[in-house]
Amino acid sequence: MASNSTNAIEWALRVCQSMAFAIHGVLGVTEPFTGCLQHAFKDKHGAMPKWFWPVAGILLWTVAVLNFSKNDAVVLGAQAYICAFHMGALFYHRRIGHPLVAGVPPTIFSFMAFGVVGLRTGSYGLALIGWGVCTCIAHALSLILVTPPPHLDESGSNSQEPNLLHDGGPDGTSS
């Protein structure tokens, strides 16, 4: 373990994570009844399986609690889940056609997990390797779980909406 000041920083990062997960867990568990996440993400075609959001909500609640375990392995496992889940959010947004910037806010939690692992283990190299592995897992799962909307072509661009740079104005006329 690192010094007391580093432990305080690591603790504060885990508190921030767990507070956010407690709140977001409510959104996930109630999604089948409210549709708030699908609506907020403008996901009109249901890119995620119906069971995903409630399961994710329960797992977020679980991680929020496990994040304060006295067992280092449990905390590091929670950080791996946090990293993979939130890098997965980046890939989810990309697969449904959102701009890259839409996936940036959830990745903040992945960087927090990187910090917790680095501080807790004393090795930022190990934390970087873990972040890379979790990112690869998240990408693979996004290819399995996320169904892109039908209007996206293989490049991820929207094939039905006019391209304002090439098609002229919104009505398709050139100026």
| Tens-place pLDDT, residues 48-104 | 998 999 999 999 999 999 999 999 999 999 999 999 999 999 999 999 999 999 999
Confidence band for 168, pLDDT divided at 50, 70 and 90: very low
Residue with tokens 């903040």: 108
* Helix, coil or strand: residue 50: coil
Confidence band for 30, pLDDT divided at 50, 70 and 90: very high
107 in Cβ contact with 87 (< 8 Å): yes
Regarding predicted confidence, which is higher, 35 or 132? 132
**Partners of residue 158 on adjacent β-strands:** 152
Question: Which tokens sit at 148?
Answer: 């892109």
Q: Residue 6: what pLDDT?
A: 60
Indicate if the pLDDT at residue 175 is higher than 90.
no
What confidence tens digit (pLDDT) does each residue in 122-166 have? 999 999 999 999 999 999 999 999 999 887 655 555 544 433 234
Q: Residue 43: what pLDDT?
A: 84
Q: Residue 55: what pLDDT?
A: 97
Average pLDDT, the chain: 86
Mean per-residue pLDDT for 28-32? Answer: 95
Mean per-residue pLDDT for 112-130? Answer: 96
Closest alpha carbon to 79 in 91, 66, 92: 66
| Total residue length of the chain | 175
Sequence spans of domains, the chain: 4-145
Q: Residue 44: what pLDDT?
A: 79
Alpha-carbon span 87 to 112, nearest angstrom: 12
Q: Residue 163: what pLDDT?
A: 37
Regarding predicted confidence, which is higher, 99 or 5? 99
Q: Residue 4: what pLDDT?
A: 54
165 in Cβ contact with 115 (< 8 Å): no
